[in-house]
Structures are given as C-alpha cells and as structure tokens.
C-alpha cells in the first residue's frame, strides 16, 4: 500500500513514516502543500494523510484542489486543530476521516485500515429501499433515476440508515458505525445528517430522514412535500 504523508513537522513525519514502513507500507513524505499537490497529481496513492497547518498551500486548500481535479484518494486529516468548526470544514471539503493530535499509532493504523477496506471494495452490492439504490463502490445515491455523489461519511450514514430502514437509530449507534470511537455527545452526527438530507433534497421532493425526538433518526419514505 502506498501512502502520501503531508506533514511539515519533521519529528511527527519521521514517527509516522517509520512506523508505517515497519508495518509494510510504502510512504512518501511532503513537507508542504505544494509538494503534496505535486505528489498526488503525479502518482497514485492508496491513502493520503494530511495535516491542515502546512506551508505553501494549507491542508484545506490542497484537499479542495484534489477533489476539484477528481482525485478521489481517501484522505485522513491529522491535525492539532480540534474545534468542531475546523473538523467539519475538513470533512465537508472532502476528507474521509480525521484524527486530532496527539494520537496513538495504533489508532492511526486502525483508521487507515478502515479507510482502505472501504475504498477497495471489489463487489458492487447495491443497497435498495423502495426507489432508492446506494452503490457501496462508487458512493452514488440514486433516487428515481436521479443521482447524487456522497462523501465518505455521508455514505456511511446513508448505508447504516438503509440497512436499518424504518427502525429508530440513536445518535450513539450512528456515531459508533461511522466514526468508531466518536464521542456520542458531539453534534457531528447531526451536522452530517443535515448534509445528507440536503443531498437527498437536491434530487427528490420526498422526505426520508426523520428526527425521532429523544432518540435520534429513522429512515422511511414519506409522501411528497407540499
């Protein structure tokens, strides 16, 4: 597996790259955003580990340029920025997951493995519910022949909702499925459910995601909005 690490702190970059190489990964290191963009544009990587606070081109701008160029390599943000606003900006820009510094190397490996498993799914097993289909390989949501492309986290939420359609799900259950050890007191679930709702509303007038007061959410078809 080929990894691109974009990190300007030499000690952190050495720690991560050395550990990954010992685990059998091939690692390229870029110490600024411009070099990182050059690398990801010239070579195919299995995953990108991206710090946000880097020189030349910052992490968010690098991520924007990657996605604008249709480079869909999974991106794991590793950052000292811990506010919900910073995290949401990174996720909304197109990252697939994030880790806040300091983190354990074992947790980093677990996140990398999880993203690689999902990005390398070989089987295109469609999830279906009424006139909805969800493709786990392309992350495309189709409702009555209209399509929307989902981010990694939007897809995982949609996948979990479809697998449990018409069943109330707690925020904690959704957080554990999508973010593994995510603190269920965070509002990140609500933020991403709202993103997903907007994607659905962009292609259909029907309402599917419903808030269950005191519990969380449920997924079921409702008549068209008036």
Alpha carbon distance 41, 29 (integer Å): 14
3-state DSSP percent of the chain in helix, strand and coil, to 5: 40, 20, 40
Position 225 scores a pLDDT of 45
pLDDT range class, residue 49, cuts 50, 70, 90: very high
Q: Residue 70 above 90 pLDDT?
A: no
Residue 11 lies in a domain: yes
Q: Which residues contact 107 (CB under 8 A, 6 or more apart)?
A: 99, 181
Question: Which one of 72, 96, 119 terminates a domain?
Answer: 119
- Whether residue 124 has pLDDT greater than 70: no
| Number of folded domains that form the chain | 2
Average pLDDT, the chain: 86
Is 80 exceeded by the pLDDT of residue 136?
A: no
Alpha-carbon torsion (109, 111, 114, 120), positive or negative: negative
224 falls within a domain: no
Which residues, listed in sequence order, are joined to residue 218 by a DSSP beta bridge?
210
pTM: 0.55
Domain span at residue 135 reads 127-219
Q: What does the pLDDT look like over 172-196, one tens digit per residue?
A: 999 888 887 655 556 889 999 999 9
Q: Is the pLDDT of residue 154 over 60?
A: yes
Same domain flag for 38 and 92: yes
Could you tell me if residue 68 is inside a domain?
yes
Asked if pLDDT for residue 122 goes beyond 50, the answer is no
Query: Does a structural domain hold residue 71?
Result: yes
């Amino acid at each position: 597996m080929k990894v691109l690490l974009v990190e300007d702190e030499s000690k952190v970059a050495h720690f991560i790259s050395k550990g990954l190489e010992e685990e059998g990964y091939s690692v390229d290191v870029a110490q600024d955003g411009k070099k990182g963009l050059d690398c990801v544009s010239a070579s195919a990587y299995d995953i990108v580990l991206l710090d946000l606070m880097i020189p030349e081109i910052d992490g968010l701008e690098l991520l924007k340029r990657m996605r604008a160029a249709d480079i869909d390599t999974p991106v794991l943000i590793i950052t000292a920025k811990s506010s919900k606003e910073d995290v949401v900006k990174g996720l909304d820009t197109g990252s697939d997951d994030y880790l806040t510094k300091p983190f354990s190397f074992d947790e980093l490996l677990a996140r990398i493995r999880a993203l690689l498993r999902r990005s390398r799914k070989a089987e295109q097993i469609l999830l279906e519910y009424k006139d909805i289909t969800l493709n786990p390989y392309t992350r495309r949501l189709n409702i009555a022949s209209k399509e929307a492309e989902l981010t990694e986290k939007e897809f995982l939420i949609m996948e979990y909702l479809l697998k449990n359609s018409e069943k109330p799900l707690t925020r904690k259950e959704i957080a554990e499925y999508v973010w593994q050890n995510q603190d269920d007191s965070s509002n990140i679930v609500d933020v991403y459910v709202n993103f997903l709702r907007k994607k659905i509303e962009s292609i259909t007038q029907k309402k599917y995601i419903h808030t269950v007061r005191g519990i969380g959410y449920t997924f079921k078809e409702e008549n068209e909005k008036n």
